[in-house]
Amino acid sequence: MHFIAMLFAGRIAAPTVVSLALFLAGPSHAQEEVFAAARKELVIRIQQAALGIAAMTGAAGIDARVLDAFGKVPRHRFVPGLLVPFAYQDVPLPLGYGQNLTQPSLLALMTQVLEIKAGQRVFETGTDTGYQAAILAELGAEVFSMEIVQPLLEIARALLPALGYLGISLAQGDGSSGWAEKAPFDAIMVKESAPEIPPALWRQLKAGGRMVIPLGPPEGPQVLTLAIKRANGSIERRPLLPVRFAPFQGGERT
């Protein structure tokens, strides 16, 4: 679905078939120890990546709470079996259906700038198989996430509870219209590009709330942008860095 071209130029072949059984079949105890060590290494790479682009983003690093979440969530459970060996590389991974699991360092930056606190209501577009929803849940957020691809949504619906993430609300859709029945939200993470902030999403963001969104045309240039909603409803924009995300795939935008 999306990747940050400035940090990753390689490609990994997309799986042709994505089976729910491959996601629900957990690794052995010995493998879990290996994965735990790999997560620690990933956390180090995330922090190094953040420091490397700090002058551009204005984020001097990633908070310990965010790093701790990335150190806990088992990314290898959210990718197809053939891609498990790549799970803790700092790269996007294909999920099939034309969708990618976003690069961890990019997700960490997006999470960092939202400044999520425990108990806040967070809306996410592009659930994929549920990895970022699990990260948000680890931060104590009340998570509402929307995915347009039904097979991926069904994987997330089965996998998240199986991993102990019980309080995440999921729905099908491209997310551009938000989730009015669950609004307002303290924070919104958008993982699809748009030429401008979708009005429906902006209406559903609380005053003082934060939205991170890639803004720009489908073929670029795009800029990952932090948008803060002032008390009077106006927008404070903070450009973060150039990115390349796929656009919203459909849905009402008014």
pTM of the model: 0.89
3-state secondary structure the chain: CEECCCCCCCCCCCCCCCCHHHHHCCCCHHHHHHHHHHHHHHHHHHHHHHHHCHHHHCCCCCCHHHHHHHHHCCHHHHCCHHHHHHCCCCCCEEEECCEEECCHHHHHHHHHHHCCCCCCEEEEECCCCCHHHHHHHHCCCEEEEEECCHHHHHHHHHHHHHCCCCCCEEEECCCCCCCHHHCCEEEEECCCEECCCCHHHHHCEEEEEEEEEEECCCCCCEEEEEEEECCCCCEEEEEEEEEEECECCCCCCC
Can you give the pLDDT at residue 28? 56
CA-based end-to-end distance of the chain: 23
Low-confidence ranges of the chain (pLDDT < 70): 1-30, 250-254
Can you give the pLDDT at residue 199? 96
What is the CATH architecture assignment of 20-89+103-245?
3-Layer(aba) Sandwich (3.40)
Q: Domain spans of the chain?
A: 20-89+103-245
Residues paired with 187 in a beta bridge:
122, 210
Q: What is the pLDDT of residues 185-241, one digit of tens each?
A: 999 999 999 999 999 999 999 999 999 999 999 887 999 999 999 999 899 999 999
